[in-house]
Amino acid sequence: MLSLCVNKKIYQSTNIFVTFMKSTKLIIVNPVSGNRDGEKKAFYIASLITDHQDVQIIVTRKPGDAENITYSAIKSGVTEIIICGGDGTIHEVINTVMQESNARYYTKIGIIPAGTCNNFAHDLNLPFNLNNIIDVILKNNIRKVDLANIGYRYYATIATLGFDSDVAQYVKHQLHPSYLQGTSAYLWGLFATLKKYQNHNVKLLGDFGVIEEKIFLVATANTKSYGGNIRIAPTANPTDGILTICTVKALPKKEIIRMVPTIFRGTHIKHPKVDLYKTRELTIESEESLWIWADGEQITKTPAVIKIAPKVLSVICP
């Protein structure tokens, strides 16, 4: 693991629990996210903002490192953490911030979009151009945004149940060409999973009432998209204090294949088997225990309760 304090001293550490300085901006880099250029982006940005403030960079090496780094930083008094990675890295950092006593009230999160999936960044209209990112970080404007809570975990984007959870499981754990990322990886997993997928009977309870039906998938959204820009919930907004629920009822597999292109445009919501609901809390029950995934991570099994956590995260935004 590499730690660098630009403009002061360069040093290396193999221990993720390194010494942090309160006055620094901490950049946590996931080097295997996206095009694997996160380190290059982070060092470029750090080199241009050190005239204003010292910067400490730590590069993760394995899942869970971002959580441990964030924990140590918070305990050391660091109040500004910049994430250079995708939705998975954001997931690790925000969960540590939310679970540490009072950390949410004084910790600011910045984002350098560098992941396979950058759905949270897209929904917050964050820049992807490096010079524009630097401008946003230096201006340090704060926007309070929503998260969703499920059990003891929080997520920033979308929780899925049913087919898309199976696709996420396949893409993360099954063999597929390593060069496939984002949309292409999702499509590979989609067709591989669809061959053997079975619909499920579920019961949903929310502000909209009670729904019992056989479903293809349920998406509980804080943002519009997940995966490779799959716009499953085009009306979702991470600052409106409410969850958007998208259900797709059981459909023949041929109909699902025809629907796929419309999901990327968000026009699938016009399909008669697709429904959108708004709620502050959702209870999900199912005949069999089913996995729920969120931010590309396996979270918990049904039954489960998902709640909106309005304006709990401070994000550096334009």
Query: For residue 37, what pLDDT band results from cuts at 50, 70 and 90?
Result: confident
Burial of 311 from C-beta contacts in 10 A (0-12 / 13-18 / 19+)? middle
Query: For residue 124, what pLDDT band results from cuts at 50, 70 and 90?
Result: very high
Closest CA to 48 of 152, 133, 150, 119: 133
pLDDT at 82: 94
The CATH code of the domain that includes 129 is 3.40.50.10330
What is the chain's mean pLDDT, rounded?
A: 86
Contact 117, 224 (CB under 8 A): no
Last residue of a domain, one of 81, 114, 140: 140
Structural domain contains residue 146: no
Structural domain contains residue 150: no
Q: Reduced to 3 states, what is the DSSP secondary structure of residue 57?
A: strand
Cα(95)–Cα(256) distance, integer angstroms: 34
- pTM over cut 0.85: yes
Cα(147)–Cα(152) distance, integer angstroms: 13
pLDDT at 147: 98
Please give the full DSSP string across 230-298, using - where no structure is assigned: B-S-TT--TTSS-EEEEEEE---HHHHHHHHHHHHHTGGGGSTTEEEEEESEEEEEESS--EEEETTEE
Query: For residue 16, what pLDDT band results from cuts at 50, 70 and 90?
Result: low
Residues 6+ apart with CB under 8 A from 198: none
Structural domain contains residue 40: yes
pLDDT at 117: 78
Q: List pLDDT tens digits, range 145-198.
A: 999 999 889 999 999 998 877 777 777 666 555 555 666 767 767 777 777 788
- My answer on whether 19 and 159 are in the same domain is no
- My answer on whether 58 and 181 are in the same domain is no
The tally of domains found in the chain comes to: 2
pLDDT at 224: 96
Structural domain contains residue 266: yes
Structural domain contains residue 96: yes
The two structure tokens encoding residue 123? 């929904």
- My answer on whether 171 and 277 are in the same domain is yes
Better pLDDT: 179 or 50:
50
Structural domain contains residue 237: yes
Token look-up 């010292």 returns 54
Instruction: Quote the DSSP letter at residue 226.
Output: B
Token look-up 């969850």 returns 243
Note down the domain range covering 228: 155-310
- My answer on whether 28 and 121 are in the same domain is yes
pLDDT at 301: 94
Structural domain contains residue 149: no
The CATH code of the domain that includes 239 is 2.60.200.40
Q: Reduced to 3 states, what is the DSSP secondary structure of residue 138?
A: helix
